Amino acid sequence: MELWQRLIEGDEVACARCLTIVENEREGYVELLRNIHPYTGNAVIIGITGPPGAGKSTLVDKVVKELRNEDHKVGVIAVDPTSPFTRGAILGDRIRMSDLNLDPKVFIRSMGTRGSLGGISKGTQAGIKVLDAYGCDYIIVETVGVGQSEIDVVKTVDTVVMVMVPGLGDDIQAIKAGVMEIGDVFVINKADNDGARKTKIEIEMMLDFKKDWEFRPPVSMSIASENKGIDTLVQNIKAHTKYLNESDRLKDRRYHREAMQVYQFVEHHFDNTLEKAMDQKEEEINHSLEGKTDPYTIGFALIDQLMK
Amino acid sequence: MELWQRLIEGDEVACARCLTIVENEREGYVELLRNIHPYTGNAVIIGITGPPGAGKSTLVDKVVKELRNEDHKVGVIAVDPTSPFTRGAILGDRIRMSDLNLDPKVFIRSMGTRGSLGGISKGTQAGIKVLDAYGCDYIIVETVGVGQSEIDVVKTVDTVVMVMVPGLGDDIQAIKAGVMEIGDVFVINKADNDGARKTKIEIEMMLDFKKDWEFRPPVSMSIASENKGIDTLVQNIKAHTKYLNESDRLKDRRYHREAMQVYQFVEHHFDNTLEKAMDQKEEEINHSLEGKTDPYTIGFALIDQLMK
């Protein structure tokens, strides 16, 4: 039996190997993704994101346990920034999840961001696909940070859970503007800290800005470290899943996710070709630094060279 | 006199217009960038980044004032996440900088992140170029967040100032791994908060990991709101500039920045073409969702269609 067939049969070792293959783009990874494609599209995909210090890992841990109580098979992809020092994903606080690692119906993988040029979402998309084919009912994608790449990742999931924390200070305004608006479900974690109620009011006020909600994001509180508020959060996630199923929105999101896979596959291929072509341009780039030419002239030449 | 010539003469209105043209990629923006290219390469470019809540805006404000005391001409680009609600950059805390706006030798611009696909750095690079041609001695790029896109931006500057804050909680580990390692100069802001000394020790310990520093990043403390520690921070930045000038590193960084401009220009052109081509693929993407084809088959067809 081929590796991808063993994955579909639910073989845990095959799943781990498939994830490694797609994450590192080992030989045959495209063929693997092609083979498993017809077996995907069944999982509910949940993105959990929010600013650093919000306690996302602990929260994910508890949400997984809540879903396991209902006997769901659960996959977790934790997107960790890659360390230039260690040249790999930092497992860090993933270690907390070790008791879940013993559960055969939970599969956890940390993924690094690898390349310098917006590399987060490519590996994540492929990883979701593998866990989907593996038969997970729920796939949770946890991202650290509040940047654009994280937005790109969570945009392609079914439900975005935005984890907030009381008293984030002035920059909360900036976070609100850029990231909070993609939240389908909000949770204020560490709700025993000062200012939790104030943060809830601020989020509700921001949500009031938009009048025509088809599904107004619910805002709940949690203290993940004490397992408080997790049941409400999971209920809110399920309410959003129900809304997606009953409206056209699920179709929209899945279309977007499929299109994203096509786009990223092609862009990635182009980027690889471009990187190789640029290795030949060292002299011209030095000339550009000296003002003898400019980046756009070099760029136009590369466009002519690479594109039809 | 043409607009770009007025920019080079130091015309403030021309500078504002040029920034708008390059940020929004209005007609003629490439020609504009080409024309000003020979007049660039003189500014010291400083990236200031760090997690939300670190008080970066206030710190930038004070650093600008310190540089103004030495009569330097200073440009600031603040990268703000774009709000899907307001469809524009949120000025938010930039208002704090209003007294600086009255100073003719300070030019401040907020830039949104625009597109969904890693759009931060394109506009920022072009903005840096405009401010450089405008004659700024220092250009400060302030980014909110700790994501990959922000890393991409700061990687192309001369000096990366990493703003930390005491007591960021568990996720500090993740921030450390992904972002801290790109810091050339560290500052712990809000140093009157609990845990400032502990944070300093943690940063120093992380720096100890690497033994072969050519320039070991200095770690200082500040309370920007009280204008404390700004002089030390500026001295540390200048020490790094001195190191860059005396080693080959400045050349390396500037080569990298020039190459990045070429790369992004070509990639951007390809992305636009790809987006248009994908509009024609709606039916096939729907077939892929139904399992009749897959994203990679569609992708290979697009590669054939667009690339030589």
The interface predicted TM-score of the complex, written ipTM, equals 0.85
Task: Give the range among A68-77, B24-33, B170-179, B242-251 with minimum mean pLDDT.
Answer: B170-179
DSSP symbols for A236-295? HHHHHHHHHHHSSHHHHHHHHHHHHHHHHHHHHHHHHHHHHHHHTTHHHHHHHHTTSS-H
CA distance B238 to chain A (A): 23
Q: Alpha helices, DSSP H only, in chain A?
A: 3-8, 12-23, 29-36, 56-69, 98-101, 120-133, 148-155, 172-178, 196-208, 230-246, 249-279, 282-289, 295-306
- Name the residue among A81, A170, A288 with its Cβ closest to that of B179: A81
CA distance A2 to chain B (A): 19
Indicate the pLDDT class of residue A206, thresholds 50, 70 and 90.
confident
State the pairing for strand pair B88-89/B82-83. Answer: antiparallel
- Give the position of tokens 């992809």: A77
Distance CA A170, CA B66 (A): 23
Nearest to A100, CA basis, from A73, A137, A81: A73
> What separation in angstroms does the CA of A35 have from each of A4, A7, A19, A87, A133?
7, 11, 14, 30, 10
Q: For residue A75, what is the DSSP state? A: E
- Is B146 close to A144, i.e. CB distance below 8 A? yes
Q: Which residues of chain B are within 8 Å of residue A152 when distances are taken between CB atoms?
A: 116-118
| AA letter at B75 | G
Percent of chain A, pLDDT > 70? 82
- Is A146 close to B145, i.e. CB distance below 8 A? yes
- Please answer whether residues A56 and A224 qualify as being in contact, where contact means their C-beta atoms are separated by less than 8 angstroms: no
Mutate: best of B266, B267, B296, B300, partner A, most A CBs <10 A: B266
Residue B177 is predicted with a pLDDT of 52
> How confident is the model over B259-283, as pLDDT tens digits?
989 998 999 999 999 999 999 999 9
Q: Which residues of chain B are within 8 Å of residue A33 when distances are taken between CB atoms?
A: 294-296
- Is A181 close to B34, i.e. CB distance below 8 A? no
Residue A292: CB atoms within 10 Å: 11
Greater confidence (B29 vs A81) lies with B29
Give the tokens for residue A6: 């063993």
- Is B41 close to A178, i.e. CB distance below 8 A? no
Distance CA A257, CA A263 (A): 10
Residue A274 is predicted with a pLDDT of 97
Task: Give the range among B80-84, B103-107, B249-253 with minimum mean pLDDT.
Answer: B80-84
Q: What is the CA radius of gyration of chain A?
A: 21
| AA letter at B217 | P
Nearest to A278, CA basis, from A248, A260, A305: A305
Indicate the pLDDT class of residue A217, thresholds 50, 70 and 90.
very high
- Is B278 close to A262, i.e. CB distance below 8 A? yes
